[in-house]
Amino acid sequence: MTAKHSAFAEVNTYVRRVAKRLQIPDAYLNIMLNPYRELRVQVMIHRDDGSIFETFGYRIQHNAARGPYKGGIRYHPDVNEDEVRALASLMTWKNALVDIPFGGAKGGITVDPRQLSPRELQDLTRSFTRKIDMALGPYRDVPAPDVNTNAEVMGWIMDEYGRRHGHTPAVVTGKPLALGGSKGRQAATGRGVSLVTQWAANDNGIDVPGARIVLQGFGNVGTYAAEFLMQAGAKIIAVSDVDGAIYAKDGLDIPALLAWVREHRTVKGFPGAEPIDGAKLLTIPCDILIPAAMGGVITMANAAQIQTKLLIEGANHPVTPDAAAALEQRGIPIIPDILANAGGVTVSYFEWTQNLQQFFWSEAEVNQRLGERLETAYRTMSETVVESQCTYREAAYLIALRRVWEAMQLRGI
């Protein structure tokens, strides 16, 4: 992999740029650039047909100056060290920006979970949990769901960890409600994307009622973002998933689409919409473009064709730094991932808090606190844009790096 295509190098271009502005000494900067600990473990299971399946899992802990490591676990064929490092680093800056007391981490297994039976998936999860067990703990490292993992997988992690350490619900977030999950967690990332989209649209002269939105990815983040934005009056005109993409110029019927996806597991074939090419979806003229699937989907290869007025990063690092600069030069504001999709980890923090207290909050309380925290972060970022004459992303990193640097200094590092 060349440095040009390294997601980790891309995240670090933002870190370096802002560190220079803040005049962070090299010794601190190097600690901020590099992960603290990287685990790469072999995981294997017996398949249902008796054969052995073997692959690698990762847990990378980036920085814990502000609290225990925190970040999701992804199951995907493209999971590799570089990508997990990038995602771990993003978690450090995201958690600092929304001011929650966690550091950053990420994990994953290189696997296509669609090829595994439910029993195989559970065994794989348990094998992985045992291998990284020594690095986990409610005050050490707290995983959560990410691409292709969900509440059920988090429940298995909690159970496997508990076999050695005793019942410890706070070791993982995004759990099922019956196992100590938080109300509002499942919808939290999409809810956050929707809130941030509405604030940013208002600040950039776009009326949300009637706004035409294009959305890539219709999983946990995309489905809830679509639902909440539709409720706010926006028209979701195009949606895609890994299997296909659909377009309806007057807006998709989101409740009907959700019912279709529950039954067919894909947006493909949804009646009342025309099928379109997945790659072309990103270039449809629209008011707001929300990539909410994978990283690195907007590059110099397609940046010139993007025709939106505002871009909201629902996914992690969906836009490469050179493409982001090209879009910003064309006057397209980009709300960075570390703010736009921070709703999930914010409610994960609430779940961890509730687990430690063994006292649960109502959904209304969770949602209210989520909105308040994200709004504070959004406003602080927007004020920094004006004060420091910089992009939204630079402002977000300025705030985050300042906070992490301060914590490192106060710890006496």
Q: Which of 71, 145, 180, 296 binds ligand NAD (CB under 6 A)?
A: 145
Smallest separation (angstroms) from ligand NAD to the CB of 331: 25
155 neighbors 179 (Cβ within 8 angstroms): yes
Question: Is residue 148 near ligand NAD by the rule CB under 6 A?
Answer: yes
The answer to the question of residue 287 lying near ligand NAD (CB under 6 A) is no
Label the pairing between strands 52-63 and 37-46. Answer: antiparallel
- Identify which range of 175-183, 195-203, 211-219, 282-290 contacts ligand NAD by CB under 6 A: 211-219
- The number of beta carbons lying within 10 Å of the beta carbon of residue 205 is 8
Among the listed residues 158, 208, 221, 381, the single contact to ligand NAD using CB under 6 A: 221
Tell which one of 216, 354, 355, 384 touches ligand NAD (CB under 6 A). 216
Q: Which residues pair with 291 in a beta bridge?
A: 216
Measured CA to CA, the distance from residue 374 to residue 380 in angstroms comes to 10
Task: Give the residue with the Cβ less far from ligand NAD, 35 or 344.
Answer: 344
What is the per-residue binding string for ligand NAD in 235-254, x denoting contact by CB under 6 A? Answer: -----xxx------------
Known active-site residue 106: yes
Question: Residue 28 Cβ, how far from ligand NAD at the closest point, in Å?
Answer: 27
Handedness of CA 123, 185, 294, 215 (dihedral sign): positive
CB of residue 316 to ligand NAD, shortest distance in Å: 4
Number of residues that bind ligand NAD (CB under 6 A): 24
Q: Where are the alpha helices (DSSP H) in 302-391?
A: 321-329, 337-340, 343-357, 363-388
| Cα–Cα distance measured from residue 175 to residue 271, given in angstroms and rounded to the nearest whole number | 34
Interacting span for ligand NAD (CB under 6 A) from 146-154, 159-167, 353-361, 396-404: 146-154
CB of 341 to ligand NAD, least distance (A): 4
- Please, what's the b/e burial string for 45-69 (b: 16 or more CB within 10 A of its CB; e: otherwise)? beeeeeeebebbbbbbbbbbbbbbb
Q: What angle do CA 93, 112, 94 make, to 5 degrees?
A: 5
204 DSSP assignment: T
What minimum distance in Å lies between the beta carbon of 313 and ligand NAD? Answer: 9
The residue to which tokens 């496997």 are assigned: 160
With CA atoms as reference, report the closest residue to 90 among 174, 4, 193, 7.
7
| Contact region with ligand NAD (CB under 6 A), list: 4-12, 128-136, 282-290, 311-319 | 311-319
Identify the DSSP state of 21.
Answer: H
Residue 89 touching ligand NAD (CB under 6 A) = no
Instruction: In angstroms, give the least distance from the CB of 377 to ligand NAD.
Output: 14
* CB closer to ligand NAD, 7 vs 24: 7
Within 312-341, the residues that bind ligand NAD by CB under 6 A are 314-316, 341
Nearest distance from residue 238's CB to ligand NAD, in Å? 11
CA distance linking residue 122 with residue 119, whole number of Å:
5
Helix (H) or strand (E) holding 143: strand 141-145
Catalytic residue (choose from 106, 175, 183, 268): 106
Give the distance from CA 280 to its chain's centroid. 23
Figure out which of the listed residues 10, 123, 141, 146 binds ligand NAD, where binding follows CB under 6 A: 146
Residues in 153-182 at the binding interface with ligand NAD, rule: CB under 6 A: none
Contacts of 2 by beta carbon, 8 Å cutoff, 6+ apart: none
Q: For ligand NAD, give the closer residue by CB, 77 or 137.
A: 77
* 258 CB-contact burial (10 Å; exposed 0-12 / middle 13-18 / buried 19+): middle
- Interface residues with ligand NAD (CB under 6 A)? 145-148, 189, 216-222, 240-242, 278, 292-294, 314-316, 341, 344
Active site residues: 106
